[in-house]
């Protein structure tokens, strides 16, 4: 379960995300209405653990550690962050994403075989930004699902593409209702006409916010990822991210003068 409690993101010149709270269950598609685009992107980065909020907390399950949230989430199609680049062909996008799936190289699927098995042979040589938007979104969702640790899918502005709302909504519902029961968050500019699922709004706070449990650190090996913290792209003025969301107004405990290399890694 994803819980965001009074999350804010402040840019260098103005606040991009006012205090916003929401919760998303596994197997659920949750829409969040936000404007402008930079606010949608900032919120998407915060909810997926790619950025530390200025204040507030985001937790996945019983942990509000950023590394836990980031390990179990995937950020998809964020403009100027990780949307498919115009100079890449579909086969290049597939090869690059599969290479980043955690695990030994001999377990990772081959790009050519993966493309064939998932029915993208006909567009493998096409530019990624030129194929049908619905198929491009499906491609990104399928690639994100290759990571066995991913349980949360965060989509930045899926409604910005030239396709009917039902197409992208049906794809998100399909992944949420799959055996893996992904929790799906789509940050959009407006609510589709026939949407009857859960909705939150930028700056919305519940009357009784859900409590976030004390963080439970996961002892997991470091994993390679192409999705680093991206505060420069958003013109944000934030401190360097840490592995855990800071606790406000709590005096720091004394630390030993010298840290071991193991402590630094954690």
Cβ pair 166, 175 in contact under 8 A:
no
Q: Give the CATH number of domain 2-265; options: 2.60.450.10, 3.40.1550.10, 3.40.50.300, 3.40.50.150.
A: 3.40.50.300
Q: Of the candidates 75, 96, 74, 249, which has an alpha carbon nearest to the alpha carbon of residue 147?
A: 74
Quote the CA–CA distance of 173 and 214 in Å, as a whole number.
31
**What value does the mean pLDDT of the chain take?**
84
- pLDDT tens digits, residue range 42-93? 999 999 999 999 999 999 998 989 999 999 999 999 998 999 888 899 999 9
The tokens for 31 are 């829409």
Helices (DSSP H) in 50-132: which residue ranges?
66-71, 90-99, 111-117
Cβ pair 203, 170 in contact under 8 A:
no
Q: Of the candidates 32, 70, 26, 24, which has an alpha carbon nearest to the alpha carbon of residue 48?
A: 70
Specify the DSSP element, H or E, that contains 262: helix 261-265
Q: Label residue 207 by pLDDT band (50, 70, 90).
A: low
Q: Label residue 133 by pLDDT band (50, 70, 90).
A: very high
What's the farthest any 2 CA atoms get from each other in the chain?
60
What pLDDT was estimated at residue 107? Answer: 85
Quote the CA–CA distance of 98 and 226 in Å, as a whole number.
12
Domain extents for the chain?
2-265
**How many residues are present in the chain?**
266
Average pLDDT for residues 87-110, to the nearest whole number?
Answer: 92
The tokens for 249 are 């107004």
What pLDDT was estimated at residue 233? Answer: 46
Give me the residues paired with residue 3 across strands. Answer: 23, 59
Q: Label residue 106 by pLDDT band (50, 70, 90).
A: confident
């Amino acid at each position: 379960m994803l819980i965001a409690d009074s999350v804010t993101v402040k840019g260098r010149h103005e606040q991009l995300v006012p205090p916003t709270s929401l919760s998303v269950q596994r197997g659920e598609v949750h829409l969040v209405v936000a404007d402008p685009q930079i606010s949608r992107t900032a919120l998407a980065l915060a909810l997926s653990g790619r950025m530390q909020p200025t204040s507030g907390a985001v937790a996945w399950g019983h942990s509000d550690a950023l590394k836990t949230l980031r390990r179990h989430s995937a950020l998809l199609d964020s403009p100027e962050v990780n949307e498919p680049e115009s100079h890449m062909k579909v086969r290049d996008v597939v090869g690059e994403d599969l290479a980043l799936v955690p695990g030994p190289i001999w377990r990772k699927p081959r790009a050519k075989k993966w493309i064939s098995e998932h029915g993208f042979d006909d567009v493998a040589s096409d530019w990624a930004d030129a194929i049908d938007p619905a198929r491009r979104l499906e491609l990104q969702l399928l690639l994100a699902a290759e990571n066995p640790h991913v349980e949360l899918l965060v989509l930045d502005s899926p409604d910005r593409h030239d396709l009917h709302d039902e197409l992208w909504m049906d794809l998100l519902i399909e992944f949420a209702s799959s055996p893996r029961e992904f929790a799906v968050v789509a940050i959009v500019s407006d609510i589709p006409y026939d949407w009857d699922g859960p909705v939150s709004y930028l700056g919305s706070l519940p009357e009784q916010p859900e409590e976030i449990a004390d963080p439970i650190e996961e002892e997991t090996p470091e994993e390679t990822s192409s999705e680093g913290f991206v505060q420069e792209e958003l013109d944000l003025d934030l401190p360097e991210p840490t592995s855990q969301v800071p606790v406000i107004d709590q005096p720091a405990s004394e630390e030993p003068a010298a840290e071991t290399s193991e402590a630094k890694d954690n």
